[in-house]
Amino acid sequence: MKSLAELEAIRERALKEMSLRENTGKIRVVVGMATCGIAAGARPVMNAFIEELHKRNVQNVNVTMTGCIGVCRLEPIAEVITPDGKKTTYVKLDPEKARRIVVEHLINGRPVKEYTIDEVE
Amino acid sequence: MKDLSLHVMDIAQNSITAGATLIKVSLICCDGFLVFRLSDNGNGMDEELLKTVTDPFTTTRETRKVGMGIPLLKLSAEMTGGSFKIESRKGEGTSTEARFVIDSIDRIPLGNVDETLKTLIMANPEIDFEIKFQSEKSSFELKTEEIKKYLNGVPIDNFEVIDWIAGKIRDGLKVVFGGVLNEISG
Ligand code: FES
């Protein structure tokens, strides 16, 4: 059972880490969570982003969700927006592809071309 | 949608699109029914739009982008012999209720409710979620507002915090629905 004492320990660790980190620009990952996206498997994709980022202790990425992105047939879709405003749209994702995007794009800064909308379309 | 947790995600996304700052989700087993309720304080809908979202035919004719999943949830509940209700007031919010007959062979399983709630909280740290599970056996409540107060400045979307919350929710599901719904072992 999860206890409050555990949460307290997490809080203290997090506070220490927060003071260590500078305010670097954050990368945003936005996952399309409209009905079609959910039916196509957007939630496990989003969870894969969250878990892989956690596993690799990547702190400068925000994972959020949005409604309709407008291309149902290419769902699950995620957009990666870097602090300089550059947007990469990934389509037809699955959890494995999401994990690869974490390593190659979010950590190493190289977009995974073959999963982008321009390549798939 | 193959399980209820995906419907929860979908209905919650409508609330987020409607600008809600508070979303209440409850799953209650009572008198042979599993009742899923989700209410929000978002923009709400006027009567005309409300009619449109519950009717699958008007929904497919014009390609609206919000609320596509509502007729699916309605159908899913009614297939078990249960019922569906949606109430909304412009400017005040929307509340959705789907009742499933627990023993019906057409009832979709609960699915991964903890993953749905975890991703919702993670992706929407500024929204408050109130989660409630209840059965004849036990009950469980989690309010992110209280957790945020407790965290006192540490963001709720911190990975470890989110993991803790997901674990807490998993515990809750097991204690409340274990042995009550056959997909959750007691
Ligand atoms: S409804 Fe499918 S992408 Fe908008």
B20: which DSSP letter?
Answer: -
Nearest CA in chain A to B1: A39
CA distance B103 to chain A (A): 25
Instruction: Enumerate residues 6+ apart whose C-beta is below 8 A from B96.
Output: B11, B37, B38, B39, B70, B73, B84, B85, B86
What ipTM score was computed for the predicted complex, to two decimals?
Answer: 0.90
Tell me whether strands B93-101 and B128-134 are parallel, antiparallel or unpaired. unpaired
- Closest atom of ligand 1 relative to the A68 alpha carbon: 4
Residue B149: φ, ψ to 5°: -60, -45
Residue numbers in A near B72 (CB within 8 A): 35
**Rounded Cα gap, residues A29 and A41, in angstroms:** 16
pLDDT, residue B170, reads 96
Q: What is the CATH number of domain A22-117?
A: 3.40.30.10
The structure tokens 């699950």 sit at A76
Q: What is the mean pLDDT of chain B?
A: 92
- The residue-averaged pLDDT of B92-102 equals 97
Q: Provide the chain A residues 45-64 that lie in CB contact (below 8 A) with chain B.
A: 46-47, 50, 53-54, 62-64
pLDDT, residue A22, reads 54
**Rounded Cα gap, residues B40 and B118, in angstroms:** 18
Instruction: Say if CB B127 and CB B22 are below 8 A apart.
Output: yes
pLDDT, residue B52, reads 81
**Rounded Cα gap, residues B125 and B123, in angstroms:** 6
C-beta atoms of A43 and B116 within 8 A: yes
> Is the CATH code 3.30.565.10 the one for domain B2-175?
yes
pLDDT single digits (tens) B102-116:
999 999 999 999 999
pLDDT, residue B56, reads 66
pLDDT single digits (tens) B144-176:
999 999 999 899 999 999 999 999 999 999 999
How confident is the prediction along chain A (121 residues), in pLDDT tens digits per residue?
A: 788 999 999 999 988 887 666 556 789 999 999 999 999 999 999 999 999 999 999 988 999 999 988 888 999 999 999 999 999 999 999 999 999 999 999 999 999 999 999 988 7
Instruction: Say if CB B21 and CB B39 are below 8 A apart.
Output: no
* CA B10 remoteness from chain centre: 8
Ligand 1 near A69 CB (within 6 A): yes
CA diameter of chain B: 48
Instruction: Say if CB B131 and CB B141 are below 8 A apart.
Output: yes
Instruction: Say if CB B42 and CB B68 are below 8 A apart.
Output: no
The yes-or-no verdict on residue B97 having pLDDT over 80 is yes
What residue spans define the domains of chain A? 22-117
Ligand 1 pocket test, candidate residues B64, B65, B66, most atoms within 8 A of CB: B65
From the number of C-beta atoms within 10 Å of its C-beta (0-12, 13-18, 19+), residue B39 rates as buried
Ligand 1 near A117 CB (within 6 A): no
- Measure Cα distances from B92 to B43, B45, B60, B127 in Å: 6, 9, 27, 16
C-beta atoms of A67 and B16 within 8 A: yes
Ligand 1 near A38 CB (within 6 A): no
Which of the residues A38, A47, A57, A69 would you substitute to probe the B interface, choosing the one with the greatest number of B C-beta atoms within 10 Å?
Answer: A38
HEC-encoded secondary structure of A52-114: HHHHCCCCCEEEEEECCCCCHHHCCCEEEECCCCCEEEECCCCHHHHHHHHHHHHHCCCCCHH
Residue numbers in A near B160 (CB within 8 A): 10, 13-14, 54
C-beta atoms of B123 and A63 within 8 A: yes
Instruction: Say if CB A62 and CB A28 are below 8 A apart.
Output: yes
Nearest CA in chain B to A70: B65
- Closest atom of ligand 1 relative to the B63 alpha carbon: 1
The yes-or-no verdict on residue B82 having pLDDT over 60 is yes
Tell me whether strands B83-89 and B93-101 are parallel, antiparallel or unpaired. antiparallel
Q: Cβ–Cβ contacts within 10 Å for residue B130, how many?
A: 16
Say whether pTM exceeds 0.90: yes
Instruction: Say if CB A105 and CB A112 are below 8 A apart.
Output: yes
Residue identifier of the C-alpha nearest atom 2 of ligand 1: A72
pLDDT single digits (tens) B6-24:
999 999 999 999 999 999 9
Residue numbers in A near B173 (CB within 8 A): none
Higher pLDDT, B35 or B57: B35
From the number of C-beta atoms within 10 Å of its C-beta (0-12, 13-18, 19+), residue B42 rates as buried
pLDDT, residue B61, reads 47
